[in-house]
Structure 1
Amino acid sequence: MSRRRPGSTTWRVRRLRGAGVLAGVFGVLAVPTAVVMLTVGVPQRASDERAFLSARPCGAETKGPAEECLRTAWFTVEAVRVWQRRSPGGWVRVIADDGRGDRADFDGTGRFLQRARPGDRVVGTVWRGEIVTLSAHGAYHHTTGHPVGAPVAVACGALVLLVSGGLGAYASWWWLRRTDRCAVRTAGLSAIALTVLGLGIYTIFLLPVFEGRAGPRPRARV
């Protein structure tokens, strides 16, 4: 007959209650955030996408940071940085012919980003004062400010948050009500804990990716 160490049950109950509180906090934060993203973020991104797709080339008299037309401009590459981590990407710092500098951020590493070098002359498409596409060397690359596809990206991020937040809230309710009766280790508790923890971590890592693809952001001045 096996002996249980004194205090082991109490320690396990405290651990489960702590996990329940953490899961509950995550659920309380994640679910409202997902609702806001679905009700506000997705319609806004969809409106930006429609405006971009219907935009026409700018005329000679159209200038300014709030321009709704598509302006083509030449830039000189000042610096390039590319990384190959779990989320490959990079940025290119450019200087316009009028001397103003800007930085274009990219998700992924395409041919343009891999071939760009300081001193290169590149063509950029500017919308609402932000570079949305850069091209050179027979290749082009959309920046993170490109609005096409942003509604889908935001909706996916919101759904991930909604599902993981809902699971976290349910796991919290289940743990906090049953810890006294479930002090012994069970496969079910371990499975729920790993599922909620994994979804939470997965969501945290996905949010920057979705946000980076979610349409125009304030320009990074250089």
Structure 2
Amino acid sequence: MSSTELSAPFTGPPASRGAKRAALVLAVACLLAAAGLLAIGVPGALADEHAFRTASPCAAGRGGRDGDCLWTTGARIDHVRRETAKRSPVFWVYVVESDGHATRTSLRGTPSQVPGARPGARIEVTYWRGQIRTVDLGQGPRYTKADPREDHRPLLAAALGLLPFAPVLWWGWYWVGRRPRSRRAGAWQLVVPLFGGLSLMLLGPLAALSTPSVGRAFAVFGAAAAAVALVCAVVALFLRWRQRGDDTIALAPAALTGERHFAGAVLGDVPYAGGGGTLVVAPGYLATTPDPTAAAFRNEAPGTLRALRVRPLYWTDPQGRPDFRGRGLVLECEDAGTAVLIATHRKHMPLVLGALRRPQAPEEPGGGSGDADAGAADAGDADAGGAHGAAGTAGGPSRS
């Protein structure tokens, strides 16, 4: 009887519809956010940058802090305060302008790195659309943190990071949901696309922050996407080629001379399944126990348990099957037509095979089944010869 003919076939845990829907909603939200950044955020930042670069100084007596022209006024530094919560050095400059208006602006660096940034110093500040954009400390204009130039870069970086994140997120949850319906679903089917997506999530923002224009950033991102897709396709084809054919693992049974116990589990619709996380083996003997020392609470498997084949771990294996950090193997068995799985570490599987190996029955005087059949034919007693032959091939006594 083959493993595909056994009763009560195993199926994996049902896919979580709620998790799949949540992943789909999150993936769609990421795509919409990326589309919003590319359609609204980036063009708006580029328009502001262009308007700032082309803005001219305000005419005498006109303009103001909120105008579209560059409005400059004198001010005095009241005090400075360094911002310690940021990774890049930033400090605040508190000023009192010539009309008595008190405000503050932030500059990159530290006060010691910026000559003239000291209390009591006379400076000039330039407003554009309600914020101080430059500060003149006597050595020429110095742009503040409110400088609108290149504000599109972080927005573009976020968009190019979200674009590959959405399909990676969706594929991950789709694969997890589909996995229980594919017994030979390999982890590479998740890892390879995940590697490609994470690579693009890093390369996209890098292209946005290091290239001189939006068009160049998209060109670099497109080239990176093509290269990553090619590499992932080659790796996936190679791994799929390795996974082809029968996955039965040939292992020789170990010769047991005494009793051994180790981590493992028996799974299936049999009384001795789920008896604990420890397997006890000896010549012609297999039992499970929840006691790690195997001293008590043993649940012995009957002699009708028969090994079929050793194979890798399947995603369709029932819940509770130990993984052994990916180093486990599964022995498919049958017990009176019922499917049984025995999972343990690969180094212990030969011991399990040795425990299930039936001892050879001693040959009867006269030469075993073939001699018995021949003797029965010579005697003309077909029924006696058939019984004698069955006894010669029965395989010995069952385990106690």
Aligned CA-pair RMSD: 4.0
Structure 2 unaligned regions, length at least 5: 1-11, 210-400
Matches within 5 A, 1:58-137: 58-77=58-77, 78-83=79-84, 85-106=86-107, 108-109=108-109, 114-115=114-115, 116-136=117-137
Shift of 1:56: 1.0
The sequence identity of aligned pairs, in percent, is 29
CA distance in 2, matches of 1:85, 1:140: 24
CA distance in 1, matches of 2:197, 2:22: 10
Which amino acid letter does the alignment assign opposite residue 102 of structure 1? Answer: T
Conserved in 2, the CA contact under 8 Å of 1:133 and 1:141? yes
Q: Which has the higher contact order (CA 8 A, sep 6+)?
A: 1
| Structure 2 match to 1:46 | 46
Which amino acid letter does the alignment assign opposite residue 123 of structure 1? Answer: E
Question: Greater shift after overlay, 132-141 or 153-162?
Answer: 132-141
| Structure 2 match to 1:218 | none
Shift of 1:35: 0.8
Conserved in 2, the CA contact under 8 Å of 1:23 and 1:196? no
Which amino acid letter does the alignment assign opposite residue 34 of structure 2? Answer: A
Question: Greater shift after overlay, 158-167 or 53-62?
Answer: 158-167
Conserved in 1, the CA contact under 8 Å of 2:46 and 2:151? yes
TM-score with structure 1 length normalisation?
Answer: 0.64
What is the DSSP-based 3-state SS (H/G/I as helix, E as strand, rest coil) of the residue aligned with 1:98?
A: coil
CA distance in 2, matches of 1:89, 1:22: 40
Conserved in 2, the CA contact under 8 Å of 1:82 and 1:114? no
| Structure 1 match to 2:168 | 167
Shift of 1:60: 1.9
Seen in structure 2, the aligned counterparts of structure 1 residues 171 and 82 have a Cα distance that, compared at 3 Å, is same
Shift of 1:50: 1.8
Shift of 1:69: 1.0
CA distance in 2, matches of 1:165, 1:89: 34
CA distance in 1, matches of 2:23, 2:195: 11
Seen in structure 2, the aligned counterparts of structure 1 residues 127 and 184 have a Cα distance that, compared at 3 Å, is same
Summarize deviations over 1:93-121 as a string: whole Å, max 9, x none.
32212122223234x42778655233333
Conserved in 1, the CA contact under 8 Å of 2:126 and 2:135? yes
TM-score with structure 2 length normalisation?
Answer: 0.39
Summarize deviations over 1:112-138 as a string: whole Å, max 9, x none.
865523333332221122101123263
What is the DSSP-based 3-state SS (H/G/I as helix, E as strand, rest coil) of the residue aligned with 1:40?
A: helix
CA distance in 2, matches of 1:21, 1:134: 51
Determine if the alignment matches structure 1 residue 37 to structure 2 residue 37.
yes
| Structure 1 match to 2:187 | 186
Shift of 1:184: 8.9
CA distance in 2, matches of 1:52, 1:197: 36
Shift of 1:139: 6.5
Which amino acid letter does the alignment assign opposite residue 101 of structure 1? Answer: A
Shift of 1:165: 2.9
Seen in structure 2, the aligned counterparts of structure 1 residues 32 and 97 have a Cα distance that, compared at 3 Å, is same
Which amino acid letter does the alignment assign opposite residue 50 of structure 2? Answer: R
| Structure 1 match to 2:222 | none
Summarize deviations over 1:31-85 as a string: whole Å, max 9, x none.
2111111111122222212211221111222133431111222222233223375
Q: Which has the higher helix share?
A: 1
Question: Greater shift after overlay, 42-51 or 152-161?
Answer: 152-161
